[in-house]
Chains A and B, each alone.
Chain A
Amino acid sequence: DTEVTQTPKHLVMGMTNKKSLKCEQHMGHRAMYWYKQKAKKPPELMFVYSYEKLSINESVPSRFSPECPNSSLLNLHLHALQPEDSALYLCASSQGTGDGANVLTFGAGSRLTVL
């Protein structure tokens, strides 16, 4: 299995809702990532988990809350989002160490719309 699976593919939520994005991989990767991508822009790193521990938080607002329940799963909990948070959210994974730590496999993304 060489895939990263993201659910849901599309999500529409109001500013007072609480929702979650989910990501799963079964490649034995020990690093997992959340990226945010606005239209016509490159992906921007949000969070990195390495060996189930949060290793990088790119100063992301607290209305985004990541969670890594185990080495195969990564969640992004969303609460009190703003319309400007509407974007494609990409999950990725990589090996935990060595050269492979920089070779990311991306999921297809979750398209989020905040009304």
Chain B
Amino acid sequence: AQSVTQPDIHITVSEGASLELRCNYSYGATPYLFWYVQSPGQGLQLLLKYFSGDTLVQGIKGFEAEFKRSQSSFNLRKPSVHWSDAAEYFCAVAPWGGGNKLTFGTGTQLKVEL
């Protein structure tokens, strides 16, 4: 069965500092990979996705993620964090070929210190 691990439950960074959120997946083949962000009491917003091709993908709000097959990782990065980036971040995977089943990681709560 596919699974997603986000090792960091909470991360605190200072505004303007760089950010990296970790995500590791376990799956027989390279799945579809996603990062979603959720503000308190809100729905989830897609930041970026990886299906194939260039392993460095750009998303919205200045985020990027790098797929590393050898490490089964899909880490999310941002060069300079803004206070408005404080939220819950979920990594998610879906099986190659579709199937409409998205599996989410446990999430990382990001706090930004001013």
Contact = CB atoms under 8 A, between A and B. Distances in A.
Contact of B101 (A56, A99, A103, A109): A56
A104 interface: yes
B32 A102 contact: yes
B28 interface: no
Interface string A55-95: 11000000000000000000000000000000010101010
Given A56-B100, A102-B100, A42 B43 contact: no
A43 B44 CA distance: 9
Range class of the A interface residue count: 20 to 34
A104 B102 contact: yes
Interface string A19-42: 000000000000101000000111
A114 interface: no
A101 B51 CA distance: 12
A45 interface: yes
B46 A55 contact: no
Interface of B: 32, 34, 36, 41-46, 49, 51, 90, 94, 98-102, 104-107
Interface of A: 4, 6, 31, 33, 40-43, 45, 48, 50, 55-56, 88, 90, 92, 94, 97-99, 101-109, 111
